Chain A
Amino acid sequence: MSDPVPLTTDHPGQVASATPPEPGWSRRLSDRWLTVAFISPALLLLLAMSVFPLLWALYLSFTDYSATRGGSAHFVWFENYTAILTSAQVHLRAFTTLIYVVGAVTLQTVLGFTIAYLISRRTHGRGLLTTLFLVPMMLSPVVVGLFWRFMLDAQFGVINSMLGSIGLGQVEWLTRQQTALISLIVVDTWQWTPFIMLIALAGLTAVPKYLYEAASIDRASEWFRFRTITLPLVWPLLLIAVLFRAIEAFRLFELVYILTSGGPGVSTETLSFHVYKVAFLGFNTGTASAYGILMVLIVIVLTQLYLRYLNKLKED
């Protein structure tokens, strides 16, 4: 008499297992439909706002179009490109950008890693310290630029005031050729050292403790421990942070615009500031587009490097 009971409970299960082909089929179809419906709006927006403009810029880069003169654009093929690649002006800007990117990123990396290392050795107050150090990074470059411009002012800036009170002379930070680029590097370093610190700190705290314990049982010196345990384990993450910063520094525009406007002379004109001048002050839209496309190529190379290392890090 107990037999029918299991039979009836079995029954719905059997029905369910008999039907799968149908819901499975519709489910797969709806999955594909969902994928398209969910991904395509985002991709379409990116195509319209990022890819299409770049393609347009690519087209303009082969013409002599000017945004103010209007009229139709004439094809000049690679004239714009050869003009830019052979221009001494552009070479100078490229050199300035190189000094700026290498100088700022190197300083940030050394300082950021040092701070992270020091913080990671503290047992108390780590959270508070980290939070305090992170403040500059969250500020808008506009605010940072304005504020440093005030502090570096030759007459009433606080930096010169402090230099004066310890008996040193006044420095015209932003209006001298030699010091303006240094000031730019210093301000960028001030803002972005926390970025490197944050990522280095994540790497440092992720180093397994037992490695250090094993090393200290072996009586390894501190330097040896740092060189053979800490650095190799933190390095991949640090490299990603460095590449990320390099891309950002290469793109940088706001800080130059606010702090020095490229001056004095052209001593702080980076490539992105120069391209702005060609496009919006010279109105050579065709030339500026070619200029921009060349910069995009550099960014793409850097981004590919970044993504490759990122991929490697994720696979490990």
Chain B
Amino acid sequence: MAVSVDEAASTGPVRDRTPRARRFGGRGRSVLEVALLTVLAVVMLFPVLWMIETSIKENRDVYAIPAKFFDFKVTLDHFKDVFFSSGGGRSSLSVSFLNSVVVAGISTVLATVLGVPAAWAYSRFAVKAKKDQLFFILSTRFMPPVVVVIPIFLMYRQLGLIDTKLGLILIYTAFNVPFTIWMMKGFVDEVPAEYEDAAMLDGYTRLQAFRRFTLPLLLPGIAATAVFALIFSWNEFVFAIFLTSGDSVRTAPPAIAGLIGGTTVDWGLVAAASVVFALPVLVFAYLVRKHLIAGVTLGAVRR
């Protein structure tokens, strides 16, 4: 943006010497800027590339000193270890991935089912102290998980929900509902209320108007919101580690973190498991990149 302004400024003045000097200065500067950006991009991406590289290296090369950047043997053994145990059956990591899919999937569906109608109601109707209610809803999402988990732990112990998928699903739903409401309210606000009014003049009830006319228009927004909720639940760690312990219930983040518990750490396996874990997130995040700002600010900032 500023670049095009510079060009306009340098072609504008009719005098001969200043434009040339300015253009040269502009080019030197822009080379410097590109170089700086490249360096920053390399620094930001290096850890990710290193993780991928480690996941396909043989163990010997993983621990090589000095580190091997290019000349290493490629192997997919670590990825095999992520999914299959040495005995041949399924590994406990693969079970945890499956648990993550179940927990994140169901909690996302629940959060969507609860959050979308609420967002619509907040957007369309006069609700008492609407702003306060919405702010209250968002502020529950900001509570420190380590603090919330203490009473939740005691509550779950009473209800027998410790070490169950249902317990995790419930807390993740509660954790995604505020986000869904805030995010979806933005999308509902964008659909003119007049569509529903017109439908109601045609004889539809308010509910029918919502279902037949507004809801179809909201579908892309719902999809984007659900994807973010899915990512949040998929990445969640604190509740997972305190509320579950059994291999059959544990989700992937605590399972992967558990790989570094022993005296020796198989970093190749850790890297492969991390890649398998992070890949779907990156794909999903790419799909919703248009809504990324709203998504990462919990639906609060929209541009």
A-B contacts counted at CB < 8 A amount to 282
Residues of A within 8 A of B242 (CB): 280
- Tell me which residues from 125 to 171 in chain B have a Cβ below 8 Å from any Cβ of chain A: 125, 127, 131, 133, 135, 137-140, 142-148, 150-155, 157, 170-171
CA distance A299 to B244 in the complex (A): 26
Residues of B within 8 A of A313 (CB): 301
Task: Please give the distance in Å from A121's CB to the nearest CB on chain B.
Answer: 5
Assess whether A49 is in contact with B174, with CB atoms less than 8 Å apart: yes
Task: Please give the distance in Å from A296's CB to the nearest CB on chain B.
Answer: 6
Query: Given known contacts A138-B282, A206-B303, A216-B5, is B47 in contact with A34 (CB within 8 Å)?
Result: no
* Contact for A272 among B131, B142, B144, CB less than 8 A: B144
Instruction: Tell me if B83 counts as interface (CB < 8 A to partner A).
Output: no
Assess whether B260 is in contact with A42, with CB atoms less than 8 Å apart: no
Task: Please give the distance in Å from A72's CB to the nearest CB on chain B.
Answer: 14
CA distance A45 to B114 in the complex (A): 9
CA distance A217 to B8 in the complex (A): 10
Task: Please give the distance in Å from B65's CB to the nearest CB on chain A.
Answer: 6
Instruction: Tell me if B14 counts as interface (CB < 8 A to partner A).
Output: no
CA distance A152 to B288 in the complex (A): 33
Q: How many residues of A contact B (CB 8 A)?
A: 112
Proximity bits, B275-301, A CB within 8 Å = 1, else 0: 001100110011001001100110011
Query: Given known contacts A147-B47, A147-B274, A292-B144, is B292 in contact with A140 (CB within 8 Å)?
Result: no
Assess whether B44 is in contact with A42, with CB atoms less than 8 Å apart: no
Assess whether B206 is in contact with A34, with CB atoms less than 8 Å apart: yes
Proximity bits, B18-47, A CB within 8 Å = 1, else 0: 000000000000100110110011001101
Residues of B within 8 A of A39 (CB): 117-118, 121-122, 127
CA distance A275 to B36 in the complex (A): 41
A206 (CB) vs chain B CBs: closest residue: B303
* Contact for B150 among A41, A50, A216, A288, CB less than 8 A: A288
CA distance A119 to B135 in the complex (A): 34
Proximity bits, A91-122, B CB within 8 Å = 1, else 0: 00000000000000000000100110011111
- Tell me which residues from 181 to 208 in chain A have a Cβ below 8 Å from any Cβ of chain B: 190, 193-195, 198-199, 202, 204-207
- Tell me which residues from 248 to 284 in chain A have a Cβ below 8 Å from any Cβ of chain B: 250-251, 253-254, 257-258, 272-273, 275-276, 279-280
Interface pairs (11), CB distance under 8 Å: A31-B125, A42-B177, A53-B152, A140-B281, A156-B63, A206-B303, A216-B5, A253-B145, A253-B238, A280-B242, A293-B147
- With contacts A41-B118, A134-B292, A296-B143 known, what are 7 further pairs, Cβ within 8 A? A142-B253, A237-B301, A244-B297, A288-B150, A292-B144, A300-B139, A303-B142
